Structure 1
């Protein structure tokens, strides 16, 4: 009889920052009962995923075993942890557990996609636990940059696992629960088998700062501003939105929230009781009657998102409001790697309007929601696990976190996406490798990253496109001249003649020379036409475009 084992398998979030999805299992090999921790998304960019709306982890491995999936546990309401629950509910069908604020956000996502809201179940915090098959799972409050974040205690008959979730050690977080050192230290009492730990800021050498430290600096900045003051931050950072609003109110300004995501987060925080005492706000319509020097906007779009309020203001007007010379725009946020280009574009657009732009100024107006290196060391000491398994980070973060844990005397194992680790032996070992990848939400359709759709889109963007129409009569002879339609290509090339004319002339000569074997075989004819187009385009403009050939044959 096979011995039962305890396994850990990241399908997303380990080797990247985003689309977190972590599987835990216990049972005989190949028969384990499973739970999933988090099911998030990451965001596309125009360079590698043009036109894509969202990116999900590939859960094919888990879907094939959905009959063994007991539940999904969501640690907090950031999109990279909860964003895919409604998109994948049909494929998994398991109940979704989350604390009240996160559950509120998750239910709204389910409602938007026509999924059953009742599938999302509100969980109480530790020491209460949820029994999911052979697992007992508790939500342990921890501070982060969004309310009601939680780490998880996962108890099994083979040992206790602690999943940190995203966290920081903030004893005065403005909104939400403070980090409770005594509570987290108590989790080590039965003996911790493994700590799955956030790795995002492992390279930051100084202990993290509290959210409460920002208020005076932001208030001073607002008080010194002459025109309208506008600030952007992550919509989910309810504490920061409150810090900004309170600083603006103390500086004598009326506060207006702009952007659907920000209003939704504040509403959810109020509905679930995690946010109280938020300053009174005015509607965008009311701002027209308020002097600019008495007005403060808090807007979405801190990462340069093209449709968000920040980008709309940078391009002209948003909700009837426009920026003017002498106004101030504050980025109270850190730019996520990969988003720099969009943020800088907005900064320059504001600069051209003579708007004063202020960034996070090395932490003066922003603090991270993730634990820095000394804080990670501190959590290791509190939990006292047999070994640390780094997660939530790029490969370089995971590898550095392994080194950190080992340097302090803890065991550690590197487990990027697709690496199944057996946790129940004398030491952790690799049990298997699972194929992982990405799934794109393209419009309202999910497509695989290897399906070729985005690849073809990139090729067309890089090389342009030519569509060639060829008509053949009943005797398989060309009827008239072929004609071309060009997209994304220069009109003239090195010959100084219109490119379309040069292409059509060379194609006519090709068809005139083609023999019966080519003219009667669509595949050979299409290959020949494509080759001519690419050769001519290469000679004329130095490009080898994508080519679509339409062959029409007349029949008797």
Structure 2
């Protein structure tokens, strides 16, 4: 089995891995670089046969983050695109609200442990803990060779038991482990990230210390974080307020243990821009579906001291009109680097103009170095290849002599 990493040997984001065996090829992920434009052809990987119908048999997606799926629109309708069943539902739910989203049409869905066969390739998805719901490591077998692609994973989320299971009972006989290294350079070698439970405690402290509305700027697709917010609301007597997009994403998980729009302690507020979109698209059933706990501006204004809003910048005009921002506090619960980008700076400026303090409460979606070392030792691959990292040169000192640093675009053999 031959391997070519199109992007990721020296970069976080835009990951794409091509495999070849016996005249057939398979693609793992087709991501958008973190600073990329999906229409910028200079950032598109040179992969033959994306239109389908040739020796490229399928595209398999590890999870739904844009840096792993953001270029799937390049795949033609004849190429099967495989992903987790919940991942597909979440992408479909988001498409109504996210203007530049894309949902593949020729899809194959899988669940934990359900092996897929594409020509000579057998792909077994392994459910992992990550900030994206329904994320998988991918075990690929062909020609007697076994490659394990870690995808993105961690040990400190609400599904950390999945990481411990993988360490305790890893796939055996792995020839090549493609191991993500997002945390290298972001965290000291011996430090670990805060757990999601610790982030919940942080929310509790901030909610207690906030006179008005708590504006939690977190991704609605970070389901672990929404659970943390809901639990913190229960502990402090606040109501978790969702917009229609967040309510749809939570419903798309298909998990009855995940907070839903009709749960006690949850309210749904539909901002003006979403009402316009619903009217334009005729998707009135979405409002009906989440109408049980719907609130309107006057009700939101009456509950500011008892509300925590899953917040994004586009909600500020509605909050201004409803006069909901007296005593408010914004809590940034995403990667801090986004605040250095133009959209993040614009949000920070708008909050400052309203005298709303901005506080941080976040943990990484990626494994700390000690956890990555535990995983690598448990799997004990014949070769370990860095991926999804800016610092591949640090891998040999951390993970041992079986590390082989590859370059983007380079073909190599799992048996080499």
Q: Give the TM bin, normalised by the shorter chain.
A: 0.7 to 0.9
Q: Does 1:187 align with 2:166?
A: no
SS of structure 1 residue aligned to 2:407: coil
Show the counterpart of 2:292: none
Checking the alignment, whether the CA contact within 8 Å between 2:215 and 2:330 is kept in structure 1 is: yes
Q: Distance in 1 between matches of 2:7 and 2:248?
A: 26
Checking the alignment, whether the CA contact within 8 Å between 1:325 and 1:354 is kept in structure 2 is: no
Superposed displacement of residue 298, structure 1? 0.9
Aligned with residue 239 of structure 1, among 201, 211, 224? 224
Q: Distance in 2 between matches of 1:332 and 1:89?
A: 33
Aligned with residue 294 of structure 1, among 288, 293, 306? 306
SS of structure 2 residue aligned to 1:351: helix
SS of structure 2 residue aligned to 1:16: coil
Q: Distance in 1 between matches of 2:85 and 2:250?
A: 14
Q: Does 1:16 align with 2:7?
A: no
Cα distance 1:108–1:418, how it changes in 2: closer, same or farther (>3 A)? farther
Aligned with residue 67 of structure 2, among 60, 75, 80? 80
Cα distance 1:198–1:330, how it changes in 2: closer, same or farther (>3 A)? same
Show the counterpart of 1:158: 144
Show the counterpart of 1:132: 118
Checking the alignment, whether the CA contact within 8 Å between 2:243 and 2:268 is kept in structure 1 is: no
Q: Does 1:267 align with 2:233?
A: no
SS of structure 2 residue aligned to 1:220: helix
Superposed displacement of residue 192, structure 1? 1.2
Query: Larger C-alpha radius of gyration, 1 or 2?
Result: 1
**Which stretch shows the higher mean deviation, 205-214 or 64-73?**
64-73
Superposed displacement of residue 107, structure 1? 4.8
Structure 1: stretches of 5+ with no match in the other structure: 1-5, 46-51, 301-307, 426-556
- TM-superposition CA deviations, 1:297-352 (whole Å, max 9, x none): 1113xxxxxxx42xx52xx4458445634211111222236834543442233223
Cα distance 1:273–1:135, how it changes in 2: closer, same or farther (>3 A)? farther
Q: Distance in 2 between matches of 1:114 and 1:240?
A: 22
Cα distance 1:275–1:414, how it changes in 2: closer, same or farther (>3 A)? same
Superposed displacement of residue 83, structure 1? 2.5
- TM-superposition CA deviations, 1:345-391 (whole Å, max 9, x none): 42233223221221x2xxxx211110121111111101100111111
Q: Does 1:210 align with 2:211?
A: no
Show the counterpart of 1:383: 379
Show the counterpart of 1:417: 408
TM-score, with length taken from structure 1: 0.62
Cα distance 1:320–1:213, how it changes in 2: closer, same or farther (>3 A)? same
Q: Distance in 2 between matches of 1:34 and 1:145?
A: 29
Checking the alignment, whether the CA contact within 8 Å between 1:188 and 1:382 is kept in structure 2 is: no
Cα distance 1:120–1:71, how it changes in 2: closer, same or farther (>3 A)? same
Q: Distance in 2 between matches of 1:393 and 1:322?
A: 44
Structure 2: stretches of 5+ with no match in the other structure: 271-294
SS of structure 1 residue aligned to 2:155: coil
Number of equivalenced pairs: 380
Cα distance 1:337–1:14, how it changes in 2: closer, same or farther (>3 A)? farther
Q: Does 1:168 align with 2:142?
A: no
Checking the alignment, whether the CA contact within 8 Å between 1:227 and 1:326 is kept in structure 2 is: yes
Q: Distance in 1 between matches of 2:39 and 2:221?
A: 18
Show the counterpart of 1:355: 356
Cα distance 1:380–1:135, how it changes in 2: closer, same or farther (>3 A)? same
- TM-superposition CA deviations, 1:213-265 (whole Å, max 9, x none): 221221121012111221101232111022113312432223222373x3442
Q: Does 1:60 align with 2:46?
A: yes
Checking the alignment, whether the CA contact within 8 Å between 2:239 and 2:306 is kept in structure 1 is: yes
SS of structure 2 residue aligned to 1:178: helix
Aligned with residue 40 of structure 1, among 31, 41, 46? 31
Show the counterpart of 2:267: 281
SS of structure 1 residue aligned to 2:87: helix
Q: Distance in 2 between matches of 1:208 and 1:8?
A: 32
Q: Distance in 1 between matches of 2:51 and 2:344?
A: 42
